Structure 1
Amino acid sequence: MIRRRSVVPNVSSPSFCTPLIAVTLSALFLLVRLNSARGDFGNEATESEANGQKESGQFLQEDGIFVLRDGTFDSFLSQNPTVLVEFYAPWCGHCKQLTPEYVKAAAQLADSVPLAKVDATVETKLAERFKIQGYPTIKLWKDGQTEPTDFDGERDAEGIVQWIKLKTDPNYKPPPEEVVALTRQTFDEFVGDKPLVLVEFYAPWCGHCKQLAPEYEEAAKRLKKHGIPLAKVDSTVEKKLSDEYAVKGFPTLKILRNGRRFDYNGPREADGIVSYMLDQAKPAVNRLNSVKDVLKFMSPSDVTVVGFFSSESGAFYEAFADAAERTRGDFAVGYALDGAIAQHFGAKFGEVVLFWPEIFHSEYEPKRKTFPRETATSEELVSFWRDNAIPLVGQMTRANSATRYHRRPLVAVYYNVDFSLAYRDGTQFWRKKVLAIAKKYSKQNYHFAVADEEEFSSELNAVGLGTSGLEQNVIVFGVDGKKYPMDPEKYDENLEENLANFLEDIGKGKVKPFVKSQPVPKDDKKGAPVRTLVAENFAKIVNDEANDALVEFYAPWCGHCKAFEPKYKQFATKHSKEEPNLIVAKFDASENDVPEGYAVEGFPTIYFVPSGKKDKPIKYGGNRDLEDLAKFVKKHAVASFKKQEIRDEL
C-alpha cells in the first residue's frame, strides 16, 4: 500500500521570496502546527491519519484501536472503566493474524467498549506489571476493576464481540450455534439416518479445539444450505462415546454416512472444511462411458483406479464401490460397463486396474497393476490400492505425505520439483538419478520419494538443511522414528554416488540421527523440585531405573500450561524431599523433539514413567488438580511412595 504524505511547498523557491509572503507563510505554518497539535485544524488529514492513526483526546488511535503506553495506560483506564487491551509483539505471527479481526471488533464495539493495544516489547514495565508471558495476551478491565479478566474467547471479530457482550451486557443472548451439540442420548438418532455428517470430538480446555471452533461454526453455517450438518461431542463428558470412536487426541473429526464412520483428513479452516465436505457429498465412484471419459478421468500426477464390470450389481462391484467410499479423497476411482472400453485398455470384465501417470513411468516397474482376483472384500481392495499406490520413486506432497508416504524407512530427496512442461526435464533428470539407487535399495524395504524443497522448507530448516547450499538435500526417515539428514559437508556434488554412500553408512550405524533439542540447562539441579528436560537429556534422566518420573509436556505460550504451572510446582515441592526416587520434570515440546512412545497432541500432556516400565509411559487423563494428580502417581508408583501415603491436604 502506498502511503501518501502531505507535500510542503519549498519556501526557498523564487516564487516565495518576498518578505511579506515569507512572513505570511511563516505565520500560516505556525498556525497549522498549533492547530494540528490540538487536532482541530479543519478537516485536513495529518500524516498520522493517512497512516491509519489519529488523536482521540490525548490518546493515539490506530485503525480504531487505542495505542497505550506506560505514561497513558492508567489515565486511559480511569476515563474508560471498561476496556479490552491486547498485549502484543510486532514480530508475533499470532498477533498479526489477530490484527484484522481485532480492528473489525473495535469498529463493532466503538459505541460501547473501547479496544486498546500495548506493544509489550516496548512497554516492558506494563508487560511486567501484568505478568505478560506470551503473545497475544488479551485482558478485560470491567467497571474499573483493578484485576483484569483474561480473554478466553475465539480470536476472530465475531468471537471477540460476543465475548465482550457476554461479559458486559447482562441482557445479551448470543445467536444459536449451527454446530449441533450431541450427547450419548442424542448421538445415534442424530447420525443414524443422515447420509453425511461431520462430528468433532473435543475437550473444552484444548487450545487446538478453541482455534478450530470459529472455523467449524462458520463451515456449519455455509454447509447448512447443502444439507450437511456439523456436530460436536464434549469428550470430557461423553468418555464412553469417545472411546467407541477411538478418540485419542483433540480435536478428532469423524465423517459419518448413515451411521458408518470414516476419518476426516481434510483442512481445519472454514473454506477447507466446506470444500472437503462438498467433495465428500459427491459420488465416491464415477461411471465412465467412453474411452475418452477414461482418459480424461485419469490423473496426470497421481494413480487412478478403474474397475471394469459387466453390471452395477454383484458382490465384487459392491466391494469395489465400498472400497471407493473408504478411500474418498485419496484415490480417483471410476468404473466402466462397456466391453469395448475394457478391451481398449487391455483389460476384461471383473478386473480392477491401477494406472500410474506417465510422469512416474520407469524402466524398472510396470505402468499399471491389476488386482489378481475377480472376487474380494472391500478391505482387500483398499489394502491392494494402498500397497501399490506409489511408484518406485513418486512425489511426496503435503497432501499425500500422511497417507502415501508414512511407511519407513523413507528416503526423501528435496529439490526444485516441478512436473510442468517447462521444468519437467530437469525434474526428471534428478528423479532418474534417485531411481537407480531406489532399484537397489527397494529390496531392503526402503521407500523413495522426491519432494519440492519450497513446499517442505520448514522440514529442511528444522534439521539444518535449509541453508545447505546444495541443489538436492536428503532426509532419511528411519523405522526408529528418527530423522537422518544427509550432511552437506560430507556428502556433496554427485547425488547418485553420495546417496548410495549415505544409505550404506546408515546401514552400518555410522550416521547419527538428528534430534531437535534446546541446550541442556546449566542451572538444572538434581534437587530442584521441577527438573527441566530437553531432548538431549530426556532419556538419561527419565529412563533411570532407580527412579519413577512424572513429566509435563508443555509449550511456553499455552495458557492452560501457565495456569497449571503453580499447582505442578506445588506438587513437586511437597514431594521433592519426601520422595527422593520421584523425578518431577517439565519438557518444552514446542522446542524439542518429543521422544518416541509419547503421544503429545495438546498442552499440557502429562506422563508417568515408572521404574521397570520405562518403555510403557502412562498418560495422565485426570483433572488438573493436586488431589487427582497425587492419586494417579501413587497408583502407578514403583520406586517412590513406598513408606508414606499421599497426604489428604493435597
Structure 2
Amino acid sequence: MRLSLSFTVLLASLTRVLAAAESDVLDLTATNFESVVNPADLILVEFFAPWCGHCKNLAPQYEEAATTLKAKNIPLAKVDCVDQSELCQTHGVSGYPTLKVFRKGTPTDYQGPRKADGIVSYMVKQSLPAVTNVKAADHAEFIKADRVVAVLYVNEEEEPPAPNFVKTAEKHRDDYLFGMVTDAEVAKAAGVTPPALVVYKKFDDGRVDYPSATVSSVTDAKLVSWLKENSVPLLDEVSGENYSLYAESGLPLAYVFVDPSAEGKDAFVETFKPLAKSYKGKINFVWIDAIKFGEHAKMMNLQEAKWPSFVIQDIEKQLKWPFDQSKELTIEEVAHFVKAYSEGRIAPSLKSQPIPETQDEPVFTLVTKEFDQVVFDESKDVFVEFYAPWCGHCKRLKPTWDQLGEKYAAVKDKLVIAKMDATENDIPPSAPFRVAGFPTLKFKPAGGREFIDYEGDRSFESLVEFVEKNAKNSLNVPAQDTAAAASTPVAAETPVATQDTQGQTHVEL
C-alpha cells in the first residue's frame, strides 16, 4: 500500500514537471522576477490565483499565445499570487487575472483581448515602433499582419500628413498597426499616388482609401475618427470579446437579436447589410445570439423572448429604443424605425417598476416613474443608493442604509434617503449621470440639480458626516433619535471577491 501511494505521488510530481517543461509560459517567483523581467525589452506577465475561474479560462489562450510569441522573441510569464502573495502586493495586484506589460522592468497595464490571437496581435504591436517603415519585401505581409492596418504612402518621411500620422500612431499603437511607405514603386503597386492613406482590414471589403483630395491636410482628430469608423465591421456578431470595440466607438449600437439555430438566420441577417451601410459612421449594426444573451435582451427592454427582435442602444447614455415586438420584424419596418430614431422622432423606452402603493419604510423606494418628481424636488436634499439585488456589497450596505433612513426619519420632509433597483429601473435622460457599478451613492443638495458622488467608506458614521456636510436644509434631529440609531447593530464588513464583466476578480472591503 505504501509503495502504491509513493508511486502515485511520484507520478503526480512527474506529470507536473512534464507539464511545466512543455509550457512556453515562464514561471516567476520573488527569487527570479527581477532577473527575468528587468532585462527584458518586452514581456507580458499574468498575476493569477489558482482558484480564479477567469484565470482558468485564460490559461489555454495564454499558453497558445506564448507558443506563437516565443518565435517572435516576446516572452510571456505568470505569477501565482497565492504562492507569491508579497510579490503580487508589491506590484499593486488587487484582482485576478491582472496582466502587465513590462519594458526593462517598467510596467503598464495590459489593455488587449484575452484570446490567443488577440494577445499575439497586441504584443506584436507593442514590440514594433509606433510606425513601421515598410519596405517592398515586407509590404504584402505587413498589410495582412493585423485586423486593422493603417498605411501612409508618402514621398518622404517629413511630407504632410506624416507628422500627424506619427503623432496619431504614438497615441493609438495599442489599437491599430501603423506603417509608412516612402518607396514610389510600392505605392504604385498598391494603386495609390502619394500622399495617400489606406486602411487594410480583415473584414468587409478589405480596404478603404482616405479621400485623396484631403489626405495632406488630415488632422489627428479626423484621422482617429476615420480609423474608428473603419475598424468596425459593417455587420458582425457581437459578444463579450468584441463589445468594447463598439462601446469605444461612441456610436449608437443597433442589435438584431436572432436565434442562431433558426432556419434562414444567415440570410435574414444579411438583409440588414444595406441598411447598416447607409448609416455607417452614424450607427453600428450587429447581430447577437438571443438564446445565449437572453438576459441582455431583457436589459435592452425587450419584454418577450420573441426572435428576431431589434433594439437601438445609446451606450454612453444607457438609453434603449426597442422595436415594437407586437409587429412583424421586416427590414422595411426596421428601416422606418431607424430613420425615425436618427431624426429624434421617437422617445427612448424607460423601464420602471410600479410606483409603490405605500412608503412605510424609513428608506424611500424610488422608481423611474417618480424619479424626476422625487429627486429634483428643490425643497429637499436627496441621497440615493442605486443597487442590484444580486450585489453582495449592496446586501452588506442595506442595514447601514436602513439605519441612515431611520436617523433622518423625523426630517424626511427635508431629506430623502432613497434606494433604487437599477436592474429594474432605467436612469432617465434628465439625470446627468449613468450607473456603472453597484452600489452607487448620489447626493443631490436642495435648491439645485447637481449631484455629488459619495466616495467614502460605508460606515454609518461616515455617511452621516457626508450628509451633514452637504445638506442645504437644517437637519436638527432629536438627541434621543441619534442615540437610538447609533445603538443599532450593523453587520461587519468583510472582504469579498467579485468578478466583473471584463474578467477581473476584485477584492473589495
Q: Shorter-chain TM-score: what band?
A: 0.5 to 0.7
Name 1:338's counterpart in structure 2. Answer: 183
- Residue 272 of structure 1: how far off its partner (Å): 9.7
**Is 1:450 the equivalent of 2:286?**
yes
Q: Note closer, same or farther for the CA distance 1:358–1:577 as it changes in structure 2 (3 Å cut).
A: closer
- Residue 211 of structure 1: how far off its partner (Å): 7.1
Match of 1:636 among 470, 485, 493: 470
Q: Note closer, same or farther for the CA distance 1:385–1:501 as it changes in structure 2 (3 Å cut).
A: closer
Name 2:267's counterpart in structure 1. Answer: 426
Q: After superposition, give the CA deviation of every residue in 1:242-264 in whole Å (9 maximum; x if it has no partner).
A: xxxxxxxx999986868999875
**Is 1:580 the equivalent of 2:422?**
no
- Residue 410 of structure 1: how far off its partner (Å): 4.4
Within-5 A mapping of 1:11-30:
none
Q: Note closer, same or farther for the CA distance 1:501–1:277 as it changes in structure 2 (3 Å cut).
A: closer
CA distance in structure 2 between the aligned counterparts of 1:292 and 1:316, rounded to whole angstroms: 22
- Residue 485 of structure 1: how far off its partner (Å): 0.7
Q: Note closer, same or farther for the CA distance 1:278–1:380 as it changes in structure 2 (3 Å cut).
A: same
Q: After superposition, give the CA deviation of every residue in 1:22-81 in whole Å (9 maximum; x if it has no partner).
A: xxxxxxxxxxxxxxxxxxxxxxxxxxxxxxxxxxxxxxxxxxxxxxxxxxxxxxxxxxxx
CA distance in structure 2 between the aligned counterparts of 1:259 and 1:321, rounded to whole angstroms: 26
Name 1:397's counterpart in structure 2. Answer: 238
Match of 2:296 among 453, 459, 463: 459
Asked if 2 retains the 8 angstrom alpha-carbon contact of 1:303 and 1:390, the reply is no
**Is 1:482 the equivalent of 2:324?**
no
> SS of the residue aligned with 2:287?
strand
Asked if 1 retains the 8 angstrom alpha-carbon contact of 2:131 and 2:179, the reply is yes
**Is 1:539 the equivalent of 2:380?**
no
**Is 1:619 the equivalent of 2:453?**
yes
Identity of aligned residues (%): 26
> SS of the residue aligned with 2:150?
strand
Name 1:382's counterpart in structure 2. Answer: 224
- Structure 2 length as normaliser, TM-score? 0.63
Q: After superposition, give the CA deviation of every residue in 1:286-314 in whole Å (9 maximum; x if it has no partner).
A: 555448843773489x6531222557788
Name 2:336's counterpart in structure 1. Answer: 501
Q: Note closer, same or farther for the CA distance 1:621–1:353 as it changes in structure 2 (3 Å cut).
A: same
> SS of the residue aligned with 1:359?
coil
CA distance in structure 2 between the aligned counterparts of 1:389 and 1:474, rounded to whole angstroms: 23
Q: After superposition, give the CA deviation of every residue in 1:480-499 in whole Å (9 maximum; x if it has no partner).
A: 64110111323x2531x212
Asked if 2 retains the 8 angstrom alpha-carbon contact of 1:554 and 1:587, the reply is yes
Within-5 A mapping of 1:34-45:
none
Q: Note closer, same or farther for the CA distance 1:627–1:358 as it changes in structure 2 (3 Å cut).
A: closer
Code of the aligned partner of 2:272:
R
Name 1:407's counterpart in structure 2. Answer: 250
- Structure 1 length as normaliser, TM-score? 0.51
Name 2:18's counterpart in structure 1. Answer: none
Code of the aligned partner of 1:606:
L
**Is 1:551 the equivalent of 2:384?**
yes
Name 2:3's counterpart in structure 1. Answer: none
Within-5 A mapping of 1:510-549:
511-522=346-357, 524-525=358-359, 527-549=360-382
Asked if 1 retains the 8 angstrom alpha-carbon contact of 2:269 and 2:287, the reply is no
Structure number, greater radius of gyration: 1
Which residues of structure 2 form unaligned runs of 5+? 1-28, 67-73, 80-87, 487-509
Asked if 2 retains the 8 angstrom alpha-carbon contact of 1:307 and 1:351, the reply is yes
**Is 1:607 the equivalent of 2:442?**
yes
Q: Note closer, same or farther for the CA distance 1:477–1:339 as it changes in structure 2 (3 Å cut).
A: same
- Residue 628 of structure 1: how far off its partner (Å): 1.9
CA distance in structure 1 between the aligned counterparts of 2:342 and 2:31, rounded to whole angstroms: 56
- Residue 277 of structure 1: how far off its partner (Å): 6.3
Match of 1:294 among 133, 140, 155: 140
Name 1:64's counterpart in structure 2. Answer: none
Q: Note closer, same or farther for the CA distance 1:639–1:374 as it changes in structure 2 (3 Å cut).
A: same
Q: After superposition, give the CA deviation of every residue in 1:513-536 in whole Å (9 maximum; x if it has no partner).
A: 3334444444x41x5211222344
> SS of the residue aligned with 1:549?
strand
- Residue 447 of structure 1: how far off its partner (Å): 2.0
Asked if 1 retains the 8 angstrom alpha-carbon contact of 2:134 and 2:142, the reply is no
Code of the aligned partner of 1:613:
G
CA distance in structure 2 between the aligned counterparts of 1:296 and 1:547, rounded to whole angstroms: 62
Q: After superposition, give the CA deviation of every residue in 1:426-470 in whole Å (9 maximum; x if it has no partner).
A: 3784134415xx63x67xx84242324457654334332763243
- Residue 620 of structure 1: how far off its partner (Å): 0.5
Q: After superposition, give the CA deviation of every residue in 1:197-243 in whole Å (9 maximum; x if it has no partner).
A: 8899xxxxxxxxx9799789989x999964799875489xxxxxxxx
CA distance in structure 1 between the aligned counterparts of 2:365 and 2:200, rounded to whole angstroms: 53
CA distance in structure 1 between the aligned counterparts of 2:361 and 2:470, rounded to whole angstroms: 22
> Which structure carries more relative contact order (alpha carbon 8 Å, separation 6+)?
2
Asked if 2 retains the 8 angstrom alpha-carbon contact of 1:555 and 1:590, the reply is yes
Which residues of structure 1 form unaligned runs of 5+? 1-174, 181-189, 201-209, 236-249
Code of the aligned partner of 1:330:
D
- Residue 566 of structure 1: how far off its partner (Å): 2.0
Code of the aligned partner of 2:210:
K
CA distance in structure 2 between the aligned counterparts of 1:424 and 1:567, rounded to whole angstroms: 51
CA distance in structure 2 between the aligned counterparts of 1:355 and 1:225, rounded to whole angstroms: 28
Code of the aligned partner of 1:567:
T
CA distance in structure 1 between the aligned counterparts of 2:310 and 2:225, rounded to whole angstroms: 29
- Residue 342 of structure 1: how far off its partner (Å): 0.7
Asked if 2 retains the 8 angstrom alpha-carbon contact of 1:553 and 1:587, the reply is yes
Asked if 2 retains the 8 angstrom alpha-carbon contact of 1:558 and 1:603, the reply is yes
> SS of the residue aligned with 1:607?
strand
Code of the aligned partner of 1:628:
S
